[in-house]
Structure 1
Amino acid sequence: MSKFVEFTFRAQPGYSEPAARELLTGSIPVRTIAIHCFDPRAAGIPKAVADYFGDEVYPGDLILNEDGQMVGATATVFPLVIGGGRAADALRSITVSQYLFGLERVVVVHHSFCGASSFSEEGIVDSWKREQHRDISSLYDWDGIRIADFEQSLNYDVSLIRNNPGTPKHLEIYGLFYNIDSGELTEVVRDVPAKAAP
């Protein structure tokens, strides 16, 4: 057995999955997931998303119990940092986050001068063959990795999230473009179910 098992919820006395889920939902108020690139120039995106929607909190504060243990947070925007900020790698996290916390909104943000806009499928596949001696041509859905056009990539990612069975139907999904120099967000795609529309 792992020496870290004591740090799992499941190993705690009286563990109950419904009770653990209720505890997490009550102590970590995630409402919005902000999917964005791991480029350090894009680090301002979660705060920009919080400001854009106006009713969100980022970075928020940690909540400590009487023993000084971290038991919660006040942040409502949780960043999901992925190469290129592409949604394909975020689908599992959306499903798990909905189950554990409940979500209201998923925001995909692509940023100016992203490295994912610097290569083509052919270029990376050929390079991989030469340098790694492996064929990755059928490994990925290349429309979900590279960025040839920001409007197309944001539309693609919002559609990918909306059509995934692991995405709750009530979620609002947005595709935003972030200018790394000005910090400005521009809404490109909005997919809001009719009952959630203002």
Structure 2
Amino acid sequence: MSDFAEFTFQGQPGYNEAAAREIIASVIPVRTIAMYCFDPRAAGAAQAVADYFGDEVYPGELLLDETGRKMGSTATVFPLIVGGGRAADALRSITVSQHLFGIERVVVVHHSFCGATSFTAEGITAAWKHEQHTDISSLYDWDGISIADFEKSLNYDVSLIRNSPGTPKHIEIYGLFYDIDSGELTEVVRDVPAEVA
């Protein structure tokens, strides 16, 4: 067993997976995943999402036990930072977040002047073949690589999340556009199941 086993839930005496899930959900009240680009100019997106939905908390406060160990957080928004804010990179994290926290909402945020708008799927594939001598043409879904039109990319990503077997049917999914200069969010897509609306 690894030298780091003591730092895992599974390595604790009497480990019980169902009980561990209950503990995690009780000390980290995540309700919303805010998925956005790793571009530092978009770093305010998580707070903008928290503000947009009103009662959300980001980054929250750390909760400490009596010995000073970090046991949880008050954050209700979790940032999920991926290139271009594209959903294909986030699907596993959505499934895991639902399993651990019972999320209510996923928010996809694409931002102004994103680097993903500076190239095409064809262009990156051709450049990769020329520069790295590897064919990546079948590695990714071409509609999820770059961004040519924000409305199309947000609609595509919201649909990708909704149709994933790893996405719970009850969650709300939003596609928002973030202006990196003004910090303003604009709702472009709203996919809210009828029983929630």
Place the TM-score, normalised by the shorter chain, in its bin: over 0.9
Aligned-residue offset at 1:195: 1.1
- Corresponding letter in the other structure for 2:168: P
CA shift, 1:122, in A, is 1.6
Determine helix, strand or coil for the equivalent of 2:72. Answer: strand
The whole-number CA distance in structure 1 between the counterparts of 2:114 and 2:73 is 31
Number of equivalent positions: 197
For 2:90 and 2:123, the matched residues in 1 are separated by: 25
Structure 1 stretches of at least 4 aligned residues deviating more than 4 Å after TM superposition: none
Residue 190 (structure 1) aligned with residue 190 (structure 2): yes
Aligned residue number for residue 4 of structure 1: 4
1:139 to partner: Cα distance: 1.0
Q: Which residue of 2 aligns with 1:121?
A: 121
More deviation, 118-127/69-78 = 118-127
For 2:93, the equivalent position in structure 1 comes to 93
Equivalence map 1:98-177=2 (5 Å): 98-177=98-177
How far apart are residue 129 of structure 1 and its match? 1.2
SS at match of 2:49: helix
Structure 2 unpaired stretches of 5+ = none
Instruction: Provide the rounded CA distance (Å) in 2 between the counterparts of 1:123 and 1:8.
Output: 43
What TM-score do you get using the length of structure 1 for normalisation? 0.98
Q: Which residue of 1 aligns with 2:28?
A: 28
CA distance in 2: counterparts of 1:148 and 1:68, whole angstroms: 48
Q: State the Cα distance separating 1:138 from its structure 2 match.
A: 1.2
Deviations 1:50-97 (A, max 9, x none): 000101001110000001000000010000000000000110000011
SS in 1 for 2:92: helix
What is the distance in 2 between the residues matched to 1:84 and 1:92? 17
In 2, Cα distance between equivalents of 1:145 and 1:77? 25
In the TM superposition, what are the counterparts of 1:28-67 in structure 2 within 5 Å?
28-67=28-67
**Alpha-carbon distance in 2 for matches of 1:99, 1:121:** 33
**Counterpart residue type for residue 43 of structure 1:** A
Identity of matched residues, %: 78
Measure the CA separation in 2 of the matches of 1:156 and 1:122: 18
Secondary structure of the corresponding residue to residue 55 of structure 1: coil
Q: CA deviation at 1:166?
A: 0.6
Q: Residue 24 of structure 1: SS of its match in structure 2?
A: helix
Letter in 1 for 2:45: I
- Kindly provide the CA deviation profile for residues 21-43 of structure 1, in whole angstroms up to 9, marking residues without a partner as x: 00000000010000000000000
* Rounded Cα–Cα distance in structure 2 between residues aligned with 1:155 and 1:42: 20
Which residue identity does 2:62 align to in structure 1? Answer: L
Give, in whole Å, the separation in 1 of the partners of 2:180 and 2:111: 6
